Amino acid sequence: MRLEWIKGVKEKVTVTLSPQVIRKIDRWCEEMKVNSRSAAVEHFLQISISSDEERRLEAATEAYYRSLSDKEKKEDRDWARPSSRQAVHRLILDEKE
């Protein structure tokens, strides 16, 4: 596995991990053919950070829609209907091609 997106200037830090976590990292590195614990840890942190950002965006989106007035919700639905129909129409056309 190539972790090409992990490039650029790096800053060295020290972390203390349990032997169990280190064994899991080493096993993952071996299975995925990654030759660096640092690359593995950075990979796992990037996944965690991305997941956290996605959860925050979902929560903010949900909060936004929950905050809409009934009038705003109706307007949103009215705008969404033509878009949904167009998307379905496009899917049908794509399947025929």
23 part of a folded domain: yes
More confident residue, 19 or 83: 19
Instruction: Please count the structural domains in the chain.
Output: 1
Which of 15, 79, 69 is closest to 41 using CA atoms?
Answer: 15
Which of 28, 33, 31 is closest to 2 using CA atoms?
Answer: 33
54 part of a folded domain: yes
Q: Are 34 and 3 contacting, i.e. CB atoms less than 8 angstroms apart?
A: yes
Angle at 46 between CA 60 and CA 8, to 5 degrees: 125
One-letter amino acid identity for 28?
W
Residue 44, domain extent: 19-96
7 part of a folded domain: no
11 part of a folded domain: no
3 part of a folded domain: no
pLDDT in tens, 51-68: 999 999 999 999 999 999
6 part of a folded domain: no
The DSSP 8-state label assigned to residue 6 in this structure reads S
Average pLDDT, integer, range 22-35:
95
